[in-house]
Structure 1
Amino acid sequence: MWNKARSSAPLLIIITLLSLILEGCSLLGIRTTDEARYTVEKKVGNIEIRRYEPVMIVETYVNEPNFRDATDQSFRRLFDYISGANVSANDISMTAPVIAEPQEEKGKIVAMTSPVIASPSKTENERQGWILKFVLPDKFTINNSPQPTDPLVCLREVPEKRVAAISYSGLWSESNYQKHVNQLSDWLNSNNYSSISLASYAGYDPPWALPFLRRNEILIDVLP
């Protein structure tokens, strides 16, 4: 018994060290999760025009205008889905980023690919709620993605699209969000790009990552 315990000790030490290394990487802004695939067509400072490949997402809507309150409710639903709350009872690895999209009409989910001209997203007092989205790994399609068991969670296939992105660091705040929405919208207007979606917030880091090393983005779909 003692020898068996001693022989398993190195393995436990290795597992513990790997866990600490991965947590340390996240803390220091070194990301270990996969990301949605895209190519950069143009880059100017912290702004990029990207071409995203088709992707599967799982999403849920919360009728709550405050970002933190909405994401607290919706994150648990989506995390439960990737943790086995699906008809196959499968665990699904996370893929960055986690995307939050504001909604202007109560209870209405607007597809990200809808061909409508959208102004910058509304302020907290004007918006109705948020849709939170997790990107699924590349191997999943509309045909093989496990169906959610929660009726408030749904799957959607997003086709290839062109997206404008502005990156910044720091923690979430309404003022920081609006500041970068306005900066990206102004840049698009001055460079003759046509926006076709509301501005979404994309986060790439866990809550414990250091603020100045965090990667946040504002994403706006633009005409191809």
Structure 2
Amino acid sequence: MENPKFLFLGLIMIFIVSSTTKLVRCKTLESPQYTVVHSESDFEVRFYRDSAWMTAPTDEISFQKATRDGFHRLFQYIEGANLNYSGISMTVPVLTSIVPGAGPLHSSAYFVKFYLPTKFSAIPPLALPELNLRPDSWKSRCIAIRKFSGFARDSNIVKEAEKLALSLSKSPWANSTSKDSGYAYSIAQYNSPLRFIGRVNEVWVDVSEPDKDSCKSRLVAEF
């Protein structure tokens, strides 16, 4: 017969895990709106609507260090380090955009971006000057996406970007990578560093339509 003490502790743990799961499901974080316009087994193309971001430029050589430094400043901003003293809800994803260059990770600089909730998109609170942040308004655009799990690190982001490039080369979006954004690619991270299981990351690359029309004309599934 099982020890009643251990049985009781086990029931408590099940209750805690169950309650935590429900809380996580209920607390959905705001994210930029998009529509899927093309989907394959290893990538998809999304049409993103206009959105507003706050950007932290950083000249760190390491992707991981750049993301950590940029997000630290952005976190201060959303916690009230702005001229309005406004608290801003956490959103997803945290986006690290890589400027193409000759660096060890095919980069010359990084821009870490925080998606601003809709209520702040028109007039974002101004960041304190010492944080060195700047607002960034995005016009609607098409973005090719490749998902990958685990942690986004210096050791794997280039490989994931190369896999996306290979997939695009065999698709209707071959030779349609857009240079308008000025970024080689971006890494989107959706989870807290404290989460170790079921992590979701994405490689983002701006693409343009083969014809002159917007990719809105190719809608296949709406979210």
Q: Same fold (TM over 0.5)?
A: yes
Alpha carbons of 1:221 and 1:125: their partners in 2 closer, same or farther (altered >3 Å)? closer
Q: Is the 8 A contact 2:105 2:158 kept in 1?
A: no
Q: Is the 8 A contact 2:56 2:113 kept in 1?
A: yes
Q: Is the 8 A contact 2:55 2:114 kept in 1?
A: yes
Residues 1:66 and 2:82 are matched in the alignment: no
TM-align CA RMSD: 2.5
149, 152, 164: which is aligned to 1:169? 149
CA distance in 2, matches of 1:75, 1:100: 9
Say which is worse superposed, 167-176 or 155-164, in terms of deviation.
167-176
Q: How does 1:1-224 map to 2 (within 5 A)?
A: 21=20, 25=24, 32-104=28-100, 124=104, 126-142=106-122, 144-151=123-130, 152-193=132-173, 194-196=176-178, 197-211=183-197, 213-223=198-208, 224=214
- Structure 2 unaligned blocks of 5 or more: 1-15, 209-213, 215-223
CA shift, 1:128, in A, is 2.3
- Structure 1 unaligned blocks of 5 or more: 1-16, 106-121
CA distance in 2, matches of 1:184, 1:141: 30
TM-score (norm 2): 0.75
SS of the aligned residue for 1:101 comes to strand
Q: What percentage of residue pairs aligned between the two structures are identical?
A: 28
Alpha carbons of 1:183 and 1:104: their partners in 2 closer, same or farther (altered >3 Å)? closer
Report runs of 4+ in structure 1 exceeding 6 Å deviation: none
CA shift, 1:172, in A, is 2.0
Alpha carbons of 1:130 and 1:23: their partners in 2 closer, same or farther (altered >3 Å)? farther
CA shift, 1:191, in A, is 1.6
Question: In structure 1, what residue type is equivalent to 2:64?
Answer: R
Question: In structure 2, what residue type is equivalent to 1:206?
Answer: S
CA displacement 1:129-153 (0-9 Å, x = unmatched): 21100001122234x2111113510
Question: In structure 2, what residue type is equivalent to 1:102?
Answer: I
